Structure formats: structure tokens, C-alpha cells
Structure 1
Amino acid sequence: MLDKLSFDKPIYVLAPLAGFTDLPFRSVVKKFGADLTVSEMLSSNALAHGSQKTMHMLQKSPIEDPYSVQIAGADAQIVKKAVEILNEQDGIDIIDLNCGCPVPKVVGHGSGSSLLLNLPLMGEIIKTIKDTSNKSLTSVKIRLGFEKKNHIEIAKMVEDSGADFLAVHGRTRAGKFKAAVDYDAIKEIKESISIPVIANGDIDSYEKAQWVLEHTGCDGVMIGRGAVGAPWIFHQLREGVKDIDSTLKHEIIMEHFDKMIEFYGSHGVAMFRKHTHTYSKGYQGASVLRNSVNTISDIEEYRGVIDDFFQNNELVS
């Protein structure tokens, strides 16, 4: 097992989320407590064809260590090519295969959760990654099934194909992001295989993360949407604290803004608006703040407005 990623105690992982878990956001959660960060999902097709945009998305912060790159693909030969390209990149410790994405565009290409309909192909792709990769670990992210659950069968296929660990989103593909998460099914997977299992799905608070770990017996939790607008959840978990100080929240928000500007330049201002909206939820004067930042494009002016707001306003809910 990789020195950098020990499963001796539960690990806290940031899930890949398109449009949110870019380098600035990942570097913030890493600094404040996440054990592992994962790139946004990359198309193996795009990697194999040398897409510059995709190569740019591979970039990581120096503090992201260990670092996992998630790929999607439905053709073992193309996946092999993509892995060979990743082999040339330093600083990647894990290659993760996405077998859970429910988005029609991804499923339509036969990748993501589509692979749950073709377990022999899924197994072949996992083996291809494992055999081709020069990285320390190979992992897989799954759902409980496509239309209905066959989670034990899927998990055993993942283990038998050579994956080192597994992340489980506790819904079927049909359940998208709305159905209730089946934590019992995640527990059943944990009990039926011997590789580490990480629980994922609707983990949106410190208390919920603790409950999921206890209930499922899993080796870690993976948090995605629960960290958007609240990246300090990783600090809470690492430090074992239920409450979070408003000065620390303020520090984390400002760090996130500064990282966005560092990475995207002045375009980072517009990109940070959606984050400002989620960060300000529940604060007094949040709607006034949202309206005012929508018209600001100057970096220093924007920084001043949010700095002042989060320093001087209290949470009302």
C-alpha cells in the first residue's frame, strides 16, 4: 500500500465534481484537512488525443499529495493510451476509473455508470489500467447498479480485477442525485470484499460523516457537494470538532478567492461568484452581497467586498 495513503484510520476524500473541484478548491480543502483530492473527471478519449484543455485540468497544487486523477472511458485500448499519457506526468499517485457518473452525455458514450451494465468490459478496463499504470494505486468509483442494485456483484468484479480500493456512491444510476442513499448497501459491500471501501453520497455535515463511518464500517468517506460552500468540513473531521469558528471560515473563503485569482487571473473574479453565493447562505445581508458582487469585475474591489462581508457579518441560520 502507498505510504502516502494509509487506511489505518478513516480517510477523508474530496469527490470529483465537474465545475467545482478545480485546482484552487482542491488546494483549499487539502490545506485544511482532506487526506486525498481527486481531479475533475477526465475523458480518456480527450487524454488519448492530447486535448490541451484536458491536460490543463491535470495540473495540481504542490500540496496535493497524494493526488488521484479520475478518468472515464468505455474502450480498453483508448483507456490504455490515456494511462500511457498519465504515466508521463509526475505527481499523480492514483488513477481512478469512473463507473458511476449518471450524466446522459457520459452514459451515452458507454462510460461512467454505463459500465455497470457490462461488468466484463468494466473488469477488462480496470485490469488494463492496473497493468499499464506506473502509479502506486488503481481505484474505482461505482454506484450500486444501473436500474436496480447488484452492488455485491459489481464490488467483487472491481476487487477481482485488481483495484486497490473502491469508492461507492450509495445510489443506482436511476437514482441520479435525488433518491435516498442506501448506506446499508454500502455496508454490505464493505463486508463482502477485502479491499478498502470509501462511502459516498449525501455526506453533508460532520455528524453525518461520523454516522456513515460508524454505520457502514467503511475505511473513509468521500464528500463532494457537501463540501461546496463548506470546505471546512474536512477541518472538522480531521480535528474532530463539531463547531467551526467564523474566523476560520473567513480565512478559508479568502484563501479560496486568492487561489482562484492565482490560477485563473482576472477571470477568477467571475468564476468566484457562484462560490460567493454558496458561502454566504445563511448570513445576514447575503442577498445584498450577491447582488453587489454580480457587477464587480475588479480583483481588489471584489476581494475587499467579500473580506469585509465575511469578517463583519454573522450567520443567522
Structure 2
Amino acid sequence: HASYTVSEMISAKALSMGDKKTKSLLKKRSVEKPFGIQLFGHSPDDFKSASEILENDYSPDFVDINMGCPAPKIIGSGAGCALMDDAVLATKIVEAVKKSVSVPVTAKIRCGFKDKKNAPEFARALEQSGIDAVTIHARTSNMKYKPPIDLSTIEKLCNSVSVPVIGNGDIYTLEDIKIMNNLGCSGVMIGRAALGNPFIFLELFSNRRGIPFNAPASKEKFDVLLKQVKRAIEDKGERNALNQSRKHVCWYLKGMRGASRLRNDASRISSYIELKDLIRNAL
């Protein structure tokens, strides 16, 4: 029941150079619609080339520019949230993408780079360059994911632009959504709250419409986990998929009886059969 989905972060430079691993990250399934592709980088030329490839070969429903990632490796290259420290460069990137695609172009930002909170004026600059919507994570890059979130900066941003604003950060409940809406957000983006709990979208969809929501039983949760891992294996091969899925297994186990022991076992699984055995023991 998610209204739309977004790809993993895709390196604009790697895509423009034809990197096979990068192209593999662009796979999507028919149910993932609307589907946006998120690019990161710092060169307008790379963004232009990558956007042209997306337009011609992948037909995304929108293209999202990452200007909010706080990872040291990303900002160290001048990408992600580091772009919030250079509005002139950021607007050139927006203009380059807008000229290269026929679909809406959005941006994911934070309250600001390091400890500076310049999101409102930064978003205005993006709007003047043609951005179609802005998603804001309610923390600065230095805060990473530490509480609390900064709601006042989101409200200021909403009052500063006319394009839709999508709120992000610590959204777990219907009340969290209402808070974002009251600040002026047109919608919300959920990330970490869905880890191990993809049912959150149906839960919030039901709550918003006054429809009873029955929390999934353990078996139902594990059935979805197995489906998730099986699809990862189809895309990445069993070894890589299981290595990347261990943390997801641990997230699904959260709150279950004996979770600590099961998480320890999950950290060592290396095959789909071993995962099925772990789930059988958990049930």
C-alpha cells in the first residue's frame, strides 16, 4: 500500500559510464509503480548523461536527486548533503536533469549540511531551477539519525515554497503523519520504520480510513520475509542476497520471543535453506 517506491541510490557517474553493477540496481517489478530512480553525484555533466540514459532506457515515473545522504563517503565526494553547501552547483544539477527527462524531477534534502539549517532558502533555489517537489529529512547531516527531529525547519520550508513538500524522519504512526501534514507537508516518506515491517503501509493506510488493522502473526511475517529474500536471490544470487539479508532477518525478529538467540543464529546464515530452518525453529 505504499503510494510510490524509489530505487537505491544510483551513482550518476557510474551509470553514465555504463557500469554493469549500477545497472543491476535499476531492476524493478511490475507492482513497483509509480517508481522513481534516485541519482547521486556532484557533476552536472554526469547527471545530464545519466538522466538521458534513464529517459531512453528505463522510463522512470520520476527522477529524484539525492542531496541529503549524510554518509561520510558520499559527502566526502561532494555529493549527497554536501550539495546543500553549494546552492549554485545544486541548481545546475537540477537544471541538467530537467533538460534531460520528460518526467517530474524531485530532490531529497535535509535541514542542512553539518549544523547549518538552510533548507528553506535552499529549497527556494531548487524551486526556481524547476524542481517539482522536495522531500526533507528532519535532521541536519551532522545529526545523522539521532533524535529529536527538527519540525520547525520543515514548517519554515513548507512556508517558503509552492511545490509539494514530503516530510521524512521518525514516521511510525498516524499521529506522526498528522504532525507532518499540519506543518504543511503534502505527504510523507517512510524509510527505517519499514525495515522488518513492510506491513506499516497497510497499517497506516487502514488507520487513516478507520479500517480495522490486524497485526500479522509470526507465520505471515516470515512468509513475507521468505518472499523478500527469494526475490533478492533472483536479483543478486544466493551468496550476495543472504549476506545482505541477514540484517533484514534480524529486523523481522524484533520483538519476538527468543529474538536475541535467533538474531545470533541469523548472523551466520548463508543459504536459503538455512533461513527456512531458522524460521521453522522460531515458529
TM norm structure 2: 0.89
2:215 to 244, 256, 263: 244
SS in 1 for 2:139: coil
Deviation at 1:308, TM superposition (A): 5.5
1:147-181: CA deviations, max 9, x gaps? 31122101111211111111001112222222521
The question of 1:260 aligning with 2:200 is answered no
Cα distance between partner residues in 2 of 1:38 and 1:65: 9
1:114 to 66, 82, 95: 82
Alignment of 1:87-236 (within 5 A): 87-134=55-102, 136-146=103-113, 147-203=115-171, 205-236=172-203
Give yes or no for contact 2:68–2:109 (8 Å, CA) kept in 1.
yes
Give yes or no for contact 2:158–2:185 (8 Å, CA) kept in 1.
yes
Write the letter of the residue equivalent to 2:216.
D
Cα distance between partner residues in 2 of 1:237 and 1:150: 31
Cα distance between partner residues in 2 of 1:177 and 1:294: 24
1:213-239: CA deviations, max 9, x gaps? 343231111111111122211111222
SS in 2 for 1:34: coil
Cα distance between partner residues in 2 of 1:249 and 1:209: 24
The question of 1:280 aligning with 2:219 is answered no
Give yes or no for contact 1:254–1:307 (8 Å, CA) kept in 2.
no
Q: Which residue of 1 aligns with 2:48?
A: 80
RMSD: 2.0
Residue range with higher mean Cα deviation, 163-172 or 265-274? 265-274
Q: Tell me how many residue pairs correspond in the alignment.
A: 276
Is the alpha carbon distance of 1:308 and 1:154 closer, same or farther for their aligned partners in structure 2, counting shifts above 3 Å?
same
Give yes or no for contact 1:183–1:215 (8 Å, CA) kept in 2.
no
Write the letter of the residue equivalent to 2:107.
V
Cα distance between partner residues in 2 of 1:297 and 1:72: 31
1:257-314: CA deviations, max 9, x gaps? 33223323322334322111111111112233233344443423422431562xx3xx
Cα distance between partner residues in 1 of 2:19 and 2:4: 25
1:269 to 242, 257, 273: 242
The question of 1:297 aligning with 2:254 is answered no
Write the letter of the residue equivalent to 1:271.
Q
Give yes or no for contact 2:110–2:141 (8 Å, CA) kept in 1.
yes
Cα distance between partner residues in 2 of 1:291 and 1:170: 33
Is the alpha carbon distance of 1:53 and 1:197 closer, same or farther for their aligned partners in structure 2, counting shifts above 3 Å?
same
Identity of aligned residues (%): 37
Cα distance between partner residues in 2 of 1:41 and 1:250: 27
Write the letter of the residue equivalent to 1:154.
F
1:189-226: CA deviations, max 9, x gaps? 122211111001122x2245334334323111111111
Write the letter of the residue equivalent to 2:30.
P
Is the alpha carbon distance of 1:307 and 1:133 closer, same or farther for their aligned partners in structure 2, counting shifts above 3 Å?
farther
Higher relative contact order (CA 8 A, sep 6+): 1
